[in-house]
Structure 1
């Protein structure tokens, strides 16, 4: 295996911090395997993992503003991949099979960034290689949603090195953190829990190919960060449309008790292979 080091400076002049942060060391393994849909079908899939053991979730890498990141990416797949972080790296680095690269970053702006494989875009991101890097400037309770969707035939064609026509894309499976309802409800990152008066932060990335308008029952959320709509900061709404390869940070301060659904307002995305409610559906639970 050949190890290569690539260093990127993520200094942003308007947000330079005088505080020296910590250095966070992480490794991501590119692992190819398959996922099981809600109707028990197997789909070829590739994801980033903290070990060589496959899971579909893609790790959430969390840092505090001012921290430095040393990130090794190891490619265990049989084909070449690339690696990039949107808005933090100007180009992707090629990683041949059984090779690795080291990326070093200093993070001086809070927000959510998508790490992904830009090779043959959007094919490998669609196949699963897209996750979240979260830079925090707070200590509030935080939740993480990585949105994806799939059309089964596309997974098989791309896995076999074929060509797909994205204008014909018609996904039938919809996930948050690799899970569809009801399995989403077992994910502590996806199902929001808090108490009246708590500040709850929701970090969202869309690494799928569809627009996902997320609708909150019971509460309105405030926009803290948007990767593409800076003028939306501070807006308070109950529905947020997030486009492919975009990220959002939302804040909710609950003022009443109960459990309230949160779902994609595009109702087909709340289904799985046309069966309701096997898609993007979770909830927020508020206790005294």
Structure 2
């Protein structure tokens, strides 16, 4: 006996009742505000950088920008307000095509259908990469239509999830110059600050939204979004991992890396990480300079893996 109740189907099987739900696409509305602001890197070598950013609260830009999360098939509306005196834009890489500028003091609504489940980068693509380097970047996450804990419908399952937005900034040659209205020499880029989720290592190694945490044999899906301008190799201690998606290309047979994955600029990788021995392990960018804040070790691209 099957009786439809809205989106619910009540299945009567003998003496057992099972309540099921059909996945229904939704309308997801987001609002972003573009402002100038500051990003503080604490600890040895730390500083306060001048940045530009998107934020969901007027006057409070954040770096990276807020992670926007939807389900596959949803209708997405993103309203972006430009509160700065120069042009900016909003582009979801490989999803949206409107790269036209938002005028100073203006706004624009971007409407599109959520693409296939996976991880995407959104950013300001204007100004020869300067806007993206200054902090105008974030992650756009698409979950399966049923919003389950799988990478995609019928894909690998996981227990925990982390999104790591990797970035780098050149304070003296780019941020300091751009923030005062100067002309940046884009042919010279020597980043001296490296972040995960906008955090230097001292903070990222204690941030519960960045650290990998769980019990033995639990699986963590790590979404790595490189919003920087350098390639970064991420080195996991404690165990190897499986690569399941590279730039939207799903690996039908996930392959195991030794312990390091290189993610080029504007690229994305999704990996499954499992620890089979309890302990505390580091995860860090496998380049000496990227492990520092203005040359001071260890306060760059690093976090912790905590398994019990």
Superposed displacement of residue 232, structure 1: 9.1
| Distance in 1 between residues matched to 2:111 and 2:93, nearest whole Å | 14
Task: Determine which structure has more spread, i.e. the larger CA radius of gyration.
Answer: 2
Aligned to 1:150: 169
Q: 1:124 aligns with which of 131, 140, 143?
A: 131
Q: Secondary structure, in 3 states, of the residue corresponding to 1:223?
A: strand
Alignment match, 1:26 = 30
| Partner residue in 2 for 1:77 | 84
Superimposed CA distance per residue, residues 248-273 of structure 1 (whole angstroms, 9 cap, x where no aligned partner): 11111221211111000011111111
Task: Give me the TM-score of the superposition, normalised by structure 2.
Answer: 0.82
Aligned-residue CA RMSD in angstroms?
Answer: 2.0
The correspondence for 1:43, drawn from 32, 41, 49, is 49
Q: Which residue of 1 aligns with 2:282?
A: 261
Structure 2 CA distance, aligned partners of 1:197 and 1:170? Answer: 40
Cα distance in 1 for residues equivalent to 2:86 and 2:237: 44
Moved more, 23-32 or 223-232: 223-232
TM norm structure 1: 0.87
Residues 1:233 and 1:146: Cα distance change in structure 2 (over 3 Å): farther
Q: 1:165 to 1:78 in 2, by over 3 A?
A: closer
Contact 2:118 2:248 in 1 (8 A): no
Q: Matches of 1:221 and 1:72 in 2, distance apart?
A: 37
Q: Distance in 2 between matches of 1:279 and 1:84?
A: 27
The alignment partner of 1:182 has SS state of helix
Structure 1 unpaired stretches of 5+: 1-17
**Retained in 2: the 8 A contact 1:191–1:284?**
yes
Change (3 A) 1:232 1:284: farther
CA contact (8 A) 2:128 2:186 kept: no
Where does the alignment leave 5 or more consecutive residues of structure 2 unmatched? 1-21, 150-158
1:66 Cα deviation from its structure 2 partner: 2.3
1:240-259 matches, within 5 Å, as 240-259=261-280
Match of 1:280 among 301, 304, 307: 301
1:234 pairs with 2:254 = yes
**Partner of 1:60 in structure 2?**
67
Q: Does the 8 A contact of 1:223 with 1:249 survive in 2? A: yes
Contact between 1:226 and 1:233, CA under 8 Å: does it hold in 2?
A: no
Equivalent position of 1:11 in the other structure: none
Q: 1:61 to 1:165 in 2, by over 3 A?
A: same
